[in-house]
Amino acid sequence: MGNLKVRIGGILLLACLFGAAEAATPPGCKRDQLKCHVDVQVKTGGTCTDVNLDPPTVSVSKDDRDLTYRIIWMLPPDYEFRPAMGDGVVIKSDALGKPDDHGEFADAVVGDDDDGEPSGKPKGRRWRWKYLNTQDGRFDYKIQFRNKQTGKVYTCDPVITNLDAG
């Protein structure tokens, strides 16, 4: 009987480990998937007030020029993007007040998954963008989202770049 308990315990442990690995989406850019995941964490002492982004800077290699990536910002369960209230991810403006994106970003979508068509929902836990990656650049952006229960708004001002460190 004791040996059976050990086997069952081992099977359950493996199931939990494989299930956790499958459910979690690792942050960063994956060339084989043409996706960049940014894990948004809410806590004190992050890279911005109460917010930590993993990775803090979205970096795509210069070697991937002209490969279109999908950048996906993923919020924790108790938070959401509400575009009608000003939430989302936007490229900051230049000195003339125009978005300083050089036409590199398209198809902003709010939803609850990485792929597929726009959800049509007015809110969601994921913000997706197509990053065309046609020219060198460093793109300062703003992310804004809110707590579902309290309505508290969170903002952060990170960077997207395809300039390899040298």
* CA-only gyration radius of the chain, Å: 19
DSSP 91-138: EPB-TTSSB--TT-EEEEEEESSSSSS----S-BSEEEEEE---S--E
Q: What is the Cβ-side half-sphere exposure of residue 135, based on CA atoms within 13 angstroms?
A: 8
pLDDT for 34-58, tens place per residue? 999 999 999 755 557 788 889 888 8
pLDDT for 132-154, tens place per residue? 988 888 888 999 999 999 999 99
pTM of the predicted structure, to 2 decimals:
0.76
Domains annotated for the chain, with CATH where assigned, are 27-161 (2.60.40)
Handedness of CA 75, 79, 84, 86 (dihedral sign): negative
pLDDT surpasses 50 at 14: no
